[in-house]
Amino acid sequence: MSQTVYWIVTILLFTAGVYLLAVMERWAVYGRLELTYPVKSWLSLLGQESVTPRKLDMVFYETAPLLFITAALLAAMVLPFGQGSPAIDLATGALFINASLAYVMVAVLMAGWAPNGVYAMVGGWRFLGQLIAYSMPIVMAITATVMRAESMALTKIVDSQQGLWNIVYQPVGFLLFYLSSMALAFLPPFDLPVAPGTLAGGVLAEFTGVRLLIFRVGRLVLVMTLSLATTVLFLGGWHGPFLPDFVWTFLKTLAVAASFFGISRFAVRIRYDSLLAWSWKYATPAALFNILWVGILLLL
């Protein structure tokens, strides 16, 4: 496949994936499966009046939604869909995912601070604590996949799983990455920064119209990116029989995203102190154990 065709296919699949995730999100929240819902919802937000709060921090208020979606897209650009080169082919791709996802936190922090509102600010600071706690297991789970591939290039990490996927080779790492990804995308049961019912939307409470639309789409892009990252790092990437490589990646990514939303639909929101305790007391030591485990396997 030529590089141009590869590009077109990748962009189309990613866009289709984000649309399907919007349908899944609707099902996860309201239990209804409507294929036309995303179009109606997005058009409605486009037409909605953009109400801005009084005495806001305008620079952060305008920057936050754009930074949020940009960070999620940048992380997606290093992830390979097929055997061709990803949009940004980096020798440090695994590190780059972390770097760009760290700016999701900065964007949410800005969104919490900018509107000068209590609920938004509580949500923003909550996300800071949440993401710092859960970025540790994410970083360390990625490190273990890098150890096996002996490279930070994501194409080499996929190649290293040709015989045995990382989900089998390092199941603890997979579990940590999976749950931490849900916390990073603040999906239930980790939806404390938005917390419908207690924080009235939290970080997103003061955003309306186009800005809210960018946040909503940005969150779907983020879930898609994290699902794709799970596929690339732990589920063998494009490896699979009969079907073309990019179809395998797409199907696996959608399956991961569907499982995220499936858990979200039925999980109960975790209490804030438990959320932090789980990460620092159990997930971080487990991530260190995973690194030790992979190290031993590599030496055997």
- Where does this chain bind another protein (CB under 8 A)? 55, 57, 59-60, 90-92, 95-96, 98-99, 102-103, 105-106, 109-110, 113, 116, 125, 128, 132, 135, 151-153
Measured from the CB of residue 153, what is the shortest distance to another protein in angstroms? 7
Task: Give the residue with the Cβ less far from another protein, 96 or 186.
Answer: 96
| Smallest separation (angstroms) from another protein to the CB of 144 | 16
CB of 64 to another protein, least distance (A): 11
Determine the Cα–Cα distance for residues 95 and 103; give it in Å rounded to an integer: 13
Report the residue number, 77 or 255, with the smaller CB distance to another protein: 77
Please enumerate in sequence order all residues whose Cβ is within 8 A of that of 15, keeping only pairs 6 or more positions apart, or say none.
none
Nearest to 28 by CA among 227, 188, 199: 188
**What's at 222, amino acid-wise?**
L
CB proximity list for 91: less than 8 A, separation 6 or greater: 151, 152, 153
Nearer to another protein, 13 or 185 (CB): 185
Q: For residues 299 and 283, what is the distance between their CA atoms, to the nearest angstrom? A: 24
Q: How far is the CB of 110 from another protein (least distance, A)?
A: 7
For another protein, which is the closer residue by CB, 127 or 246? Answer: 127
Q: Which residue has the tokens 């438990």?
A: 274
Q: How far is the CB of 211 from another protein (least distance, A)?
A: 18
Helices (H) and strands (E) in the chain, counts: 12, 0
- Minimum CB–partner distance for residue 272 and another protein (Å): 15
CB of 222 to another protein, least distance (A): 15
What b/e readout covers 252-277, taking b as 16+ CB neighbours within 10 angstroms?
Answer: bbbebbbebbebbeeeeebeeeebbe
Residue closer to another protein (CB basis): 225 or 264: 225
The nearer residue to another protein, 134 or 238, going by C-beta atoms, is: 134
Beta-carbon contacts of 263 under 8 Å, excluding residues fewer than 6 positions away, are: 182, 187, 188, 189
Burial 42-63 (b: 16+ CB within 10 A, else e): eeebeeeeeeebeebeeebbeb
Residue closer to another protein, measured from CB, 106 or 255: 106
Q: At what angle are helices 93-113 and 58-77 packed, to 10 degrees?
A: 160
